[in-house]
Amino acid sequence: MTENAPNSFRNQPDDRGHFGQFGGRYVAETLMPLILDLEKEYRKAQADESFKAEFDDLLEHYVGRPSPLYFAPRLTEELGGAQIWFKRDELNHTGAHKINNCIGQILLAMRMGKTRIIAETGAGQHGVATATVCARFGLPCVVYMGAEDVRRQSPNVFRMKLLGAEIVPVTAGRGTLKDAMNEALRDWVANVHDTFYIIGTAAGPHPYPELVRDFQSVIGKEARAQMLDRTGKLPDLAVACIGGGSNAIGLFHPFLDDPEVKLLGVEAAGKGLDGDEHAASLAGGFPGVLHGNKTYLLQDEDGQITEGHSISAGLDYPGIGPEHAWLKETGRVEYTSSTDEEALEAFQLLCRTEGIIPALEPSHAIAAVAKRAPQMDKDQAILMNLCGRGDKDIFTVAEALGVEI
């Protein structure tokens, strides 16, 4: 922790949407009035009890919250150190934490009188969650997805279609998640009058990083109360994987002012941090501006954005939410990374010891837990957010393990 640590880590961003030097509103002028409107409407919603009541009701009865807190006895025993607890957000409707945020944003969209929803997606989890809430509320939904991802993630593409969404394969640029986000922004610029952009992670122009964090904070709020209830104390360490960082900020934020709780974010180190094939923006990137915010980015010396790589499509993004960039610089959260190989091992470890098939994204966090737990005492506790289930990943894992299915 730096010497001049703030009194609270929970009162960011400032009124201009800055988390320290990060965050902000870096968008084309066409979008600025809408972004300012969104902020105004979000402030009103925050003060509106009926908005909160509807959000909570949907989370309980539609998403299935609160998600369980699960003690993992065999994994704990196998690792031989700290007790390991999982926040089971993979049991949510649609199989990941993404839905929490989509519920919040579609309620905002309707408050603002918007009649059309757009979203970007990489592996398809956020696209599926967005298509789901659009079906639930009867709004048309357009999902931008890199052409290559459309090919690789055909089950999710079909899911979105079943849910009534239109999928637009993006061939612009290199046809990846960041290009899908560029294309969604282009759609939004041209349709600001009736369209709401449901951003999938805690990034983008202010107020997105703040509102996505707030909607995802249900994870940490529940987990904090559940840990107190079940163990009588707070965890010694809380761990989450990070692509854009929405599940991690959702877990961490309610713990930021509990100094006894160490926080560990786990980026995707891909094939290793020493090469170019990773997606660890904090470990291997530099501050810059992309997609509406200032944050750590994978980029070259001229500020051109470079492609991330991870076996997990959900972590494969060259940026990270601005609050994480700030939390790194303040020292409140420690950030580390796991490679593709480590994540694959951790994936199998959880299948074998606990009968849970995790998504490849939280498998990166499990790998970090597997390193930390043995170094800790048996009376200490680790809380990890199991943010997604692995059904979607079995083909990728089979291929990586050289198995034909």
Partner 1 sequence: MTRLSNAFAKIHPALVAFITAGDGDTASNLDALVAGGADVIELGMPFTDPMADGPAIQAANIRSLGNGTTTADVLAIATAFRERHPDVPLVLMGYANPMIRRGPEWFADACEKAGVDGVICVDLAPEEDEDLGPALRLKGIAPIRLSTPTTDEKRLPTVLDGSAGFLYYVSVAGITGKQAAAIESIEANVSRIKSHTDLPVAVGFGVREPEQAEAIAKVADGVVVGSAFIDLVEKHGDDAPQHLRELTSRLAEAVHNAR
Instruction: Give the type of residue at 92.
Output: N
What angle, 0 to 180 degrees and rounded to 10, lies between the N-to-C axes of helices 32-46 and 208-216?
Answer: 30
- Closest to partner 1 by CB, 255 or 296: 296
Q: How far is the CB of 114 from partner 1 (least distance, A)?
A: 14
Instruction: Please tell me whether residue 162 binds partner 1 under the rule CB under 8 A.
Output: no
User: Which CB sits closer to partner 1, 20 or 173?
Assistant: 173
Q: Give one word for 94, left, alpha or beta, with left for phi > 0 and alpha for psi -120 to 50.
A: left
Q: State in angstroms the smallest separation of the CB of 243 from partner 1.
A: 17
344 binds partner 1 (CB under 8 A): no
Which of 14, 29, 21 is CA-nearest to residue 294? 21
Under the criterion CB under 8 A, does residue 13 sit at the interface with partner 1?
Answer: no
279 binds partner 1 (CB under 8 A): no
**What is the nearest approach in angstroms of partner 1 to the Cβ of residue 147?**
14
Q: Could you give the string, one character per residue 181-220, with x where binding to partner 1 holds by CB under 8 A and - elsewhere?
A: -x--xx--xx-xx---------------------------
List Cα–Cα distances, 12 to 40, 63, 305, 322, in angstroms: 17, 28, 27, 11
Q: Provide the minimum distance between the beta carbon of 211 and partner 1 in the complex, in angstroms, as a whole number.
A: 18
Q: Counting beta carbons within 10 angstroms of the beta carbon of residue 401, is it exposed (0 to 12), middle (13 to 18) or buried (19 or more)?
A: exposed
Which of 179, 210 has the CB closer to partner 1?
A: 179
Give least dist CB 135 to partner 1, A: 28
Should residue 310 be labelled a site residue for partner 1 when binding is judged by CB under 8 A?
A: no
E strand or H helix at 344, and its extent? Answer: helix 340-354
Q: What is the DSSP letter of 59?
A: I
Distances (CA, A) of 233 to 182, 226, 249, 276: 44, 10, 21, 41
Contact between 240 and 384 under an 8 Å Cβ cutoff? The reply is yes
Segment 18-57, which members bind partner 1 (CB under 8 A)? 24-34, 36
2 binds partner 1 (CB under 8 A): no
* Cα–Cα nearest to 259, from 234, 290, 289: 234
Q: Kindly list the strands in the beta sheet with 18-19, ordered across the sheet, starting from the edge strand earlier in the chain.
A: 18-19, 22-26, 292-297, 286-290
From candidates 292, 321, 322, 388, binder to partner 1 by CB under 8 A: 292
Number of residues that bind partner 1 (CB under 8 A): 37
Residue 165 DSSP SS3: coil
Minimum CB–partner distance for residue 183 and partner 1 (Å): 9
- The one among 7, 304, 402, 404 contacting partner 1 by CB under 8 A: 304
CB of 279 to partner 1, least distance (A): 16
Among 146, 207, 288, 358, binds partner 1 (CB under 8 A): 288
Residue 265 touches partner 1, criterion: CB under 8 A: no
Out of 114, 178, 253, 328, the only residue in the binding site for partner 1 (CB under 8 A) is: 178
Question: What length is written for the chain?
Answer: 405
Please, which residue, 181 or 369, has the CB nearer to partner 1?
A: 181
> Would you count residue 152 as binding partner 1 (CB under 8 A)?
no
Adjacent-strand bridge partners of 117: 141, 196
Task: Kindly state the tokens that stand for 296.
Answer: 């750590």
CA–CA distance, 72 with 386 (Å, rounded to integer): 12
The answer to whether residue 228 forms part of the interface with partner 1 (CB under 8 A) is no
- Contact residues for partner 1, defined by CB under 8 A: 16, 24-34, 36, 172-173, 178-179, 182, 185-186, 189-190, 192-193, 288-292, 294, 297, 299, 301-305
